[in-house]
Amino acid sequence: MNERQIYFKNKKILIYGLGKSGIACFNFLKKNNTCLIFDDNKNNIPADFKKKLINIRKLSKINVDFIVLSPGIDIKKCKISSYLIKNRSKIISELDIFEISYPNIDKITITGTNGKSTTSKLLYEVLKNNKKDVRLTGNIGYPILMEKKIKNNTIFVIEASSYQLDYSKYYRSKYSIILNLNPDHLERHLSFKNYAEAKFKIVKSQNKNDYAFIDNQNNFLNKLIENNQIKSKVIKINYLKYKKYFRKIDNIYFDNSSNRKNLSFVLSIAKVLKLNLKTVLNTANKFKGLDYRQQIIYKSKKLLIINDSKSTSFSSTAPLLESYKNIYWILGGLAKKGDKLKLKKKYFPNIKAYVYGKDRNLLIKSLPNLISYKSSPTLVKIMKNLKNNIKNDNSKKVILFSPCAASFDQFKNFEDRGKFFNKIIKTVFNKIRI
């Protein structure tokens, strides 16, 4: 039997991790299969699922057909590591289950280091406004296996992380987009090469009737294209070639290079899909983005405030630092392994850095010497410091909250951090309404 002919019926399946995607997998597979559940934290499991829970001792004696892992699980650092390594050939992802179950559905898979959610959301709205039956799923927060009433003409826009792609075996996307590649999640992938290859799987799995859209300016991506036998049609995106379209966009959200690059990918795939260009541009003009992702929370003649709490790396923040003048830049949290700020010297005078959090000293060391900075342990204290320094600045300025670090030293996640920043802005700058 060919691998692509494998189907899920009368199988014994272990689902490891009962978050959103784990619950969706269980509900999708339970009708025709025997589903077992394992989770590192029993307290997180809803009561309805506890009957299916299996302990480590019993697990070692059970032979399963498939193991579906939650993307966040690292097989090298989990409670059943030895079991997973021994049975690695049986590990699949939720993307594999969807692929095998719906092999003929058009999928547009978006990955990369930065900009995945924004691009996915923008493309989703473009397709929706072009009267397409489109679903937005994946790492953006909507498990793909929860979708119902899928038709032959349904299009899936799927945001895929390196974790999801790393475990996939059978997944194929007709349209694959790799926005960019920069070192990230090295604590999991151990090297940039491993990380990049996990992302690149969506291109390597394509056939001659498929399309791959990649960043033309990314040297590592170009090398991967050259060094692999790629069957699909590769379209290299140079966002500077889309200037004539940017002139038609009257939306401050696209004033920076990173969002213009995201838009250029959407324009390119819209052309391949033969979507109405006027509708694409109208959608971009009305696009408000996503919360805490380069989100403009306040705008006046003299002040622009951007909440970019989602930023966990220097590579995601650099385009913003290049796009504005007189920037009061707030950063801090848990620094990422191997992360470096790559910024031309001409931008240094525009930036005043305010650094907080557990790894503030590490982040300060990563800053070029010509960028002035102030430091405090908490976000509240650093914002009060910033307010005092901004009092006498009557020129046009930008307050940029783009942490370049993980949030877990002081917050639950980037959303929690973003909400807290908005609260501080309201408190410290009491005349501002958000």
Summarize pLDDT for 414-430 with one digit per residue, the tens: 999 999 999 999 888 77
Which position has the higher pLDDT, 48 or 167?
Answer: 167
Q: Is the pLDDT at 23 greater than 50, yes or no?
A: yes
Chain mean position to CA 76: 23
Q: Is the pLDDT at 432 greater than 60, yes or no?
A: no
Residue among 238, 246, 262 at smallest CA distance from 116: 262
Q: 350, 421 in Cβ contact below 8 A? A: no
pLDDT tens, 275-301?
999 999 999 999 999 999 999 999 999
Mean pLDDT, range 163-190, rounded to an integer: 89
At residue 167, what are phi and psi to the nearest 5 degrees? Answer: -90, -10
Q: What is the pLDDT of residue 3?
A: 43
Q: 305, 252 in Cβ contact below 8 A? A: no
What letter would DSSP give residue 347?
A: G
Q: What is the pLDDT of residue 6?
A: 57
Q: What is the pLDDT of residue 40?
A: 83
How many CA atoms lie less than 13 Å away from 173 in the CB half-sphere?
A: 27
Distance, CA of 331 to CA of 353 (rounded, Å)? 7
pLDDT tens, 134-165?
999 999 989 999 999 999 999 999 999 999 99
Q: Is the pLDDT at 4 greater than 70, yes or no?
A: no
At residue 226, what are phi and psi to the nearest 5 degrees? Answer: -65, -35
Distance, CA of 20 to CA of 322 (rounded, Å)? 37
Q: Is the pLDDT at 90 greater than 90, yes or no?
A: yes
R_g (Cα) of the chain, nearest Å: 23
* Banded pLDDT at 5 (limits 50, 70, 90): very low
Which position has the higher pLDDT, 261 or 370?
Answer: 261
* Banded pLDDT at 7 (limits 50, 70, 90): confident
How many CA atoms lie less than 13 Å away from 71 in the CB half-sphere?
A: 21
Q: What percent of the chain has pLDDT over 70?
A: 97
Q: 96, 201 in Cβ contact below 8 A? A: no
Residue among 89, 103, 86 at smallest CA distance from 7: 103
Mean pLDDT of the chain: 91
Indicate the CATH number of 3-92 among 3.40.50.720, 3.10.105.10, 3.40.50.1240, 3.40.50.300. Answer: 3.40.50.720
SS (H, E, C) 90-143: HEECHHHHHHHHCCCCEEEEEECCCCHHHHHHHHHHHHHHCCCCEEEEECCCEC
Distance, CA of 209 to CA of 413 (rounded, Å)? 40
At residue 35, what are phi and psi to the nearest 5 degrees? Answer: -110, 125
Distance, CA of 9 to CA of 175 (rounded, Å)? 29
Annotated domain spans of the chain: 3-92, 101-286, 295-428
Q: Is the pLDDT at 50 greater than 80, yes or no?
A: no
Q: 398, 324 in Cβ contact below 8 A? A: yes
- The domain over range 295-428 is classified in CATH as 3.40.50.980: no
101-286: CATH superfamily: Mur-like, catalytic domain (3.40.1190.10)
Q: Same CATH fold, 101-286 and 3-92?
A: no
| Orientation angle between helical segments 257-272 and 116-129, nearest 10 degrees | 40
Chain mean position to CA 215: 16
Helix and strand numbers (H, E) in the chain are 16, 16
pLDDT tens, 205-240?
999 999 999 999 888 889 999 989 899 999 999 999
Q: Is the pLDDT at 27 greater than 70, yes or no?
A: yes
Q: What is the pLDDT of residue 2?
A: 39
